[in-house]
Chains A and B, each alone.
Chain A
Amino acid sequence: MLEAMSEASGQIDGGATADFGGTYWWHGERINDAGVILAASQIDSADYRAIVDNLPTLCWIANADGYITWYNRRWHEYCGTTPAQMEGWGWQSVHDPAVLPQVMESWTASIASGEPFEMVFPLRGADGVFRPFLTRIIPVRDTAGTVCRWVGNNIDITRQILAQNDLRQAQQDLQAANASLAERQGFLSSVLSASTDCIKVLELDGTLSFMSEGGMEVMEIGDFNAVRGCPWPDLMKDGGVGLAKDAIDAAREGRSTVFEAAADTYAGRPKWWSISVSPIRGHDGRVERILSVSRDITALHEARERQDLLNGELAHRLKNTLSVIQAIANQTLGSAVNRDALASFGSRLVALSGAHDVLTKQSWAAASIADVAGGVLGSFDDGARILLSGPDVAIGARATLSLSLLLHELATNAVKYGALSVTDGSVELLWTIEHEGGEKILSLSWCERGGPPAKAPSRRGFGSRIIRMGLTGAGGTDIKYEDKGLSFHAVAPLDQLQQS
């Protein structure tokens, strides 16, 4: 570590130079306080000594052969040496041994040629620290032109070297940073162009300002300038325009959204896209731009449409098949069984078909209890007499069929014997989710009011069994025949209802 040499105080020896502060040098002449010009001879050697001792550099004088005869005071102050130690070639003791041979070589060459010497080398201070010194030595010639003296000057350039080092370091850091930035930029742009998604950057007004290479390929855009600055929503078709505008509004407010929309490629090829729109934030956290990533889902969309078509066709065939079953039953049993039994069979088949309708809408994955109940009970309700109330809960396909048949039986009975057999009666269907030891239980109740007193059936047929088997076919039901009307309650683990 380099350390700058301390500035000397500038104090002057007393006595011989007592009047030094009272005289001035002006145009090479010396004047005193009174402005009287003093004769050159009046400039005494003490003045010169004061000057050279206090020069803010180390300096010295050598004979023509390089033998140093005199050093100024600063030299000794810095090196912590005495004139006796330094005289002649004693200066070598304050040099760095590693650099000294080079110094000697240059110095002896100058002595031989009489040419000035200039070099930077370290000198050890009194504190043991080496500091860099810019050293210049010039020859002094006599009237015949022969070198008779050498005058040397050593300037501490520690600070300059430090500054130079800092500058060099800063330059290296800058180069490294530039290189890593270029590398990072190259990496990012290679990632961007490798993606088959169409990655776009929008300005806050929704206009396009960037599109990835891969994105231009999938959008069939040859030159980005063809769409630069265009309002991005205008590239959408139909409902996509509004969805894109909504997504931009959301992104401006800092929210990310995903939507699907149709948009033609630039070459006019119709495509479907899954589009994710999110805010790009600046350093201060404010939304500066908007990122839009579109993935081509045309194949998926077409597959989905085919699937929907197929599901619809299948549902239609199923309904026709159920109709045929009903027709066969009518033809086969029409004369053999009583009309009521045939009618019950028919209406149960209709309830089952209703459940199929609800399931078809969800690709047979799940159905909401409200949809199932609404589907089954709609045909029984002649004027808002059946009240449905409960949370939005989805149940599986099998549970949907059980619940449909169950509600159908309850409603049929209510129409025949219960609250719906009179004009003032009503039914309340309530369902809730209850937590029981970490398990979710669906609790469903059917409560009739305003009808005749309920009576337990004298004969237990298939209808009663459907009701008793409850939501999963495993029971968990409770039915009460009371004067105020029938009430039915069923519970089942939600897990079970959703799996089946």
Chain B
Amino acid sequence: MCHVLVIEDDWLVGEMIADVARDGGATSIERADTEAQAVACALARPPSVIMSDVRLAEGTGPAAVWQIRQLLGPRPVIFITGTPEECEPCDYAAAILSKPVAPADITRAFKAVVPAQA
């Protein structure tokens, strides 16, 4: 089982990331577009992998991920952002990808962290 949380406030970009995750082996995907929603989603169903934007319509991706990790413990995180320099704190990130990013690069980063298929 590989549940993925995609935190992205742009619907289309979120769809593409979700597609890549699905192709890469995600078994279930949940989408959140604000910091608060992301934390709520994660608490309701803890994700195996988080793929997050940095700037959000409300709050930021790193802030949401920090809370989730405080509450649920560490887990693989991939940031996909137009402002990698604002990705703070995220020294734990498995990858920080710069937008626009080729789907192949997302796939590569995702496959590197996705847990081995049961």
Give the contact stretch, choosing among A15-23, A317-325, A472-480: A317-325
Q: Is B103 an interface residue (CB 8 A)?
A: yes
Residues of B within 8 A of A319 (CB): 82, 98-100
Enumerate chain A interface residues (CB-CB to B < 8 A): 315-316, 319-320, 322-328, 330-331, 334, 342-343, 346-347, 349-350, 353
Q: In whole angstroms, how far apart are the Cα atoms of A323 and B82 in the complex? A: 9
Interface size on B, residues (CB 8 A): 17
Residues of B within 8 A of A347 (CB): 102, 104
CB distance from B7 to the nearest CB of A (A): 15
Q: Is the CB of A323 within 8 A of B102?
A: no
Q: In whole angstroms, how far apart are the Cα atoms of A331 and B11 in the complex? A: 12
Q: Is the CB of B103 within 8 A of A353?
A: no
CB distance from B57 to the nearest CB of A (A): 12
Q: Is B19 an interface residue (CB 8 A)?
A: yes
Q: Is B16 an interface residue (CB 8 A)?
A: yes
CB distance from B113 to the nearest CB of A (A): 19
Q: Is the CB of A320 within 8 A of B99?
A: yes
Chain B 1-35 interface mask (CB, 8 Å, partner A; 1/0): 00000000010110110010000000000000000
Q: In whole angstroms, how far apart are the Cα atoms of A122 and B29 in the complex? A: 126
Residues of B within 8 A of A323 (CB): 10, 13, 82, 99-101
Q: In whole angstroms, how far apart are the Cα atoms of A342 and B103 in the complex? A: 9
Residues of A within 8 A of B13 (CB): 320, 323-324, 326-327
Residues of A within 8 A of B15 (CB): 327, 331
Q: Is the CB of B100 within 8 A of A325?
A: yes
Q: Is the CB of B12 within 8 A of A327?
A: yes
Residues of A within 8 A of B98 (CB): 319, 353
Q: Is B83 an interface residue (CB 8 A)?
A: yes
Residues of B within 8 A of A330 (CB): 16, 19, 103
Chain B 50-84 interface mask (CB, 8 Å, partner A; 1/0): 00000100000000000000000000000000110
Q: Is the CB of B100 within 8 A of A353?
A: yes
Q: In whole angstroms, how far apart are the Cα atoms of A20 and B94 in the complex? A: 132
Pick the contact of B83: A316, A325, A327, A334 (CB < 8 A): A316
Q: Is the CB of B19 within 8 A of A350?
A: no
Give me 19 other A-B pairs in contact (C-beta within 8 A), A316-B83, A319-B99 excluded: A320-B10, A320-B82, A320-B99, A323-B10, A323-B13, A323-B82, A324-B12, A326-B16, A326-B103, A327-B10, A327-B13, A327-B16, A331-B19, A343-B103, A343-B104, A346-B100, A346-B104, A350-B102, A353-B100
- Could you list some 6 contacts between A and B, CB below 8 A? A323-B99, A324-B13, A326-B13, A328-B12, A330-B103, A334-B19
Q: Is the CB of A324 within 8 A of B103?
A: no
Q: Is the CB of A331 within 8 A of B16?
A: yes
Name which of B12, B102, B105 has the most chain A CB atoms within 10 A of its CB.
B102
Residues of B within 8 A of A353 (CB): 98-100
Q: Is the CB of B101 within 8 A of A331?
A: no
Q: Is the CB of A322 within 8 A of B100?
A: yes
Q: In whole angstroms, how far apart are the Cα atoms of A483 and B24 in the complex? A: 38
Q: In whole angstroms, how far apart are the Cα atoms of A324 and B11 in the complex? A: 9
| Smallest Cβ-Cβ distance to B82: which chain A residue | A319
Q: Is the CB of B10 within 8 A of A324?
A: yes
Residues of B within 8 A of A324 (CB): 10, 12-13
CB distance from A500 to the nearest CB of B (A): 24
Q: Is the CB of B16 within 8 A of A350?
A: no
Q: In whole angstroms, how far apart are the Cα atoms of A314 and B111 in the complex? A: 32
Residues of A within 8 A of B99 (CB): 319-320, 322-323, 353
Q: In whole angstroms, how far apart are the Cα atoms of A331 and B16 in the complex? A: 7
Q: In whole angstroms, how far apart are the Cα atoms of A328 and B10 in the complex? A: 12
Residues of A within 8 A of B105 (CB): 350
Q: In whole angstroms, how far apart are the Cα atoms of A320 and B101 in the complex? A: 10
CB distance from B105 to the nearest CB of A (A): 8
Q: In whole angstroms, how far apart are the Cα atoms of A334 and B19 in the complex? A: 10
Nearest 8 A/B pairs, CB to CB: A319-B82, A327-B16, A346-B102, A322-B100, A327-B12, A323-B99, A323-B100, A347-B102
| Smallest Cβ-Cβ distance to B80: which chain A residue | A323
Q: In whole angstroms, how far apart are the Cα atoms of A326 and B60 in the complex? A: 23
Q: In whole angstroms, how far apart are the Cα atoms of A325 and B13 in the complex? A: 9
Q: In whole angstroms, how far apart are the Cα atoms of A316 and B102 in the complex? A: 17
Q: In whole angstroms, how far apart are the Cα atoms of A330 and B107 in the complex? A: 13
Given contacts A316-B82, A324-B12, A327-B16, contact A343 B102 (CB under 8 A): yes
Residues of A within 8 A of B12 (CB): 324, 327-328, 331
CB distance from B25 to the nearest CB of A (A): 17
Pick the contact of A350: B10, B82, B83, B101 (CB < 8 A): B101
Residues of A within 8 A of B103 (CB): 326, 330, 342-343, 346
CB distance from B103 to the nearest CB of A (A): 6
| Smallest Cβ-Cβ distance to A316: which chain B residue | B82
Residues of B within 8 A of A343 (CB): 102-104
CB distance from A377 to the nearest CB of B (A): 15
Residues of B within 8 A of A350 (CB): 100-102, 105
CB distance from B23 to the nearest CB of A (A): 10
Q: In whole angstroms, how far apart are the Cα atoms of A353 and B16 in the complex? A: 18
Q: In whole angstroms, how far apart are the Cα atoms of A319 and B44 in the complex? A: 32
| Smallest Cβ-Cβ distance to B12: which chain A residue | A327
| Smallest Cβ-Cβ distance to A345: which chain B residue | B102
